[in-house]
A and B are shown apart, each in its own frame.
Chain A
């Protein structure tokens, strides 16, 4: 499994995961009203928090995705993305478990013909979670803006160790 630590592989993972997030953020930023309705439809958040969440979340997705692609603040952006994927998986799973048919609101706020929540979506989210978790653990690799030496990798491993002790 050594190839998983290959700098090119790490770069590829960052581009894929970061690209997903940037792409997913753009339509939501452009259509906050529609996106807030999608958030509401999940019936997970209290009504008073729905709009603030819908305003904030797409930008967090955008910045975390961009940071991951460029390879700056990699630990932070990978952690944010991993956390968001966990939240999304929980939200989608709970929607499926409650039997509500809603648009996932993942990549488009358009509604008509958009993807609905379901098992394929959960699997896709799980794959993204694993990939971002790997970047979190492994670091951005060599092809990153602020990780040009191996010391970064060592540092991030030490961080993970200290985090697991804490």
Chain B
């Protein structure tokens, strides 16, 4: 029993020492106490539907819209932009959505920008997988910073769209050459 305890304590201390050291020294370290609780309260204040929002939502973010609002935008001809990975886009996406993976933005933006540049004043709707995915939020913030004023975030995303049975498509986008 004593051996068990001493071995466990050894492993725990070793992990703590290396964990602290790596976090302090190596790049990409994080704060010891995150602002998660603050995020929770911000989220609760931002919208009536707190569980449908990403953890990092801020009060000055582009507006979040729910499924009925997204359907309304879709029918009104808003431009939908898919922030997920290309493989996920190929497997299925909202009909007519552009492919613009946020994590590979610089790579795909040159193919998307010429398509939407003249429509800057239109409504844009970003989405990703759904709850707990934040790519749509990051993409919306970025698009707004590029001068697209009317960006909305459909945070229910692909999951809710599918459940709802909205129009979908799969495969590569028609107009974008990049694969």
Whether chains A and B associate is yes
A residues near B (Cβ < 8 Å) are 29-33, 36-37, 40-41, 46-48, 50-52, 54-60, 62-64, 67, 73, 75-77, 79-80, 100-103, 111-113, 155, 159, 162-163, 166
Specify the main secondary structure of chain A where it touches its partner: helix
A155 to B7 Cα, complex, angstroms: 15
Q: Quick check: A76 and B30 within 8 Å, CB to CB?
A: no
* B residues near A63, Cβ cutoff 8 Å: 11, 14-15, 18
**Interface pair B30/A166, CB less than 8 Å apart:** no
Given the complex, which residues of B lie within 8 Å of A48, measured CB to CB? 33-34, 36-37
Name the residue among B8, B28, B87, B131 with the largest chain A CB count within 10 angstroms.
Answer: B8
CA distance A133 to B31 in the complex (A): 35
In the complex, chain B residues whose CB is within 8 Å of the CB of A62:
15, 18
Residues of chain A lying within 8 A (CB to CB) of residue B37: 46-48
How far is the CB of B55 from the nearest CB of chain A, in Å? 6
Distance A162 CA – B130 CA, assembled complex (angstroms) = 51
Q: Is the CB of B132 within 8 A of A59?
A: no
Contact A40 B4 (CB under 8 A): no
- Please state if B4 and A51 are interface contacts (CB–CB under 8 Å): no
Cross-chain contact B19 with A73 (CB below 8 angstroms): no
18 A-B pairs with C-beta separation under 8 A: A32-B29, A32-B30, A40-B55, A47-B35, A51-B30, A55-B19, A62-B15, A63-B11, A73-B7, A75-B4, A79-B8, A80-B8, A80-B12, A100-B131, A112-B85, A113-B88, A155-B3, A159-B4
Interface of chain B residues 125 through 179 with chain A (CB within 8 A): 129-133, 159
Residues of chain B at interface, number, CB under 8 A: 42
A29/B22 contact (C-beta < 8 A), A41-B55, A52-B32 known: yes
The reply to whether B132 and A41 contact each other, CB–CB distance below 8 Å, is yes
Q: Is the CB of A60 within 8 A of B15?
A: yes
In whole angstroms, how far apart are the Cα atoms of A166 and B5 in the complex?
14
CA distance A64 to B8 in the complex (A): 9
Q: Does B69 contact A (CB under 8 A)?
A: no
**Does B84 have its Cβ within 8 Å of any Cβ on chain A?**
yes
